[in-house]
Structure 1
Amino acid sequence: DTDGTVTPNDAGLDWAVGKKKTDFVGIRGLTRPDLVAKGRKQLVGLKTRDPKVVLEEGAQIVEDPKQAIPMKMIGHVSSSYWSENCGRSIALALVAGGRDRMGETLYVPMPNGVIEVEVTGMVFFDETGGRLNG
């Protein structure tokens, strides 16, 4: 779901970077202005409004499906599957300003129509941790 352009923060993994370390391979890169800029694409979860619809991996995401073509793409679906445990489709996506969009409705234009999606966290099963902590 990530590539060489995604930082630990973009992937929601900044907790894994040692904050007390003064030097390590890659530390300079993590402070570059373009790598900490507001609005970078961040990894988020997506739930389709129709739980039976499984998104296509690589599908583009837009804010306004009625905009003129070529549409302004704000992200793409990085992985998408049917989850038997959740009883619905689930997906991950890289979306501009992703974590600031929680609960927002976005759109995936496809040849057969537009698919509505909700931006969510990346935990789809036992979101509250009840099974782990119960």
Structure 2
Amino acid sequence: MITDIFSKTLGGLRKDYFIRNLIIGIVAAVLAWLMIDTLEARATTPKPFWNLVIIKGFFIFNGLLYPYAKYLYDYVWEVITGDAVYVYSINIITIWFKLIARLMCFFFAWILAPVGLLILYFKNS
């Protein structure tokens, strides 16, 4: 029962999709970690130790949940566009939109990932 739930949710993504998005999520978490360390090193009044642990833990947690949040984003995008194929040139606006969308998926992964896991569960059932 429990293994069935885990295989349908956590193991429901294609391996290449999961690994690619997990690497992106971990890179984003490491960059956020380094940004926190840099800002904390230059701060005149350091933050309490446990505040930093909670913030860094939140970024690691979001990095691990990012593939499922990105899956939800891709699923919703596919529902909206359907089978239509859009051909457009890569310009700064397209890159900016993709970057903002991925950052939103990363920062709200703790909200989006459970919905993505539910979709995976029902899609793989």
Q: TM-score, normalised by structure 1?
A: 0.25
Structure ranking higher on relative contact order (CA contacts 8 Å, 6+ apart): 2
Q: TM-score, normalised by structure 2?
A: 0.27
Larger Rg: 2
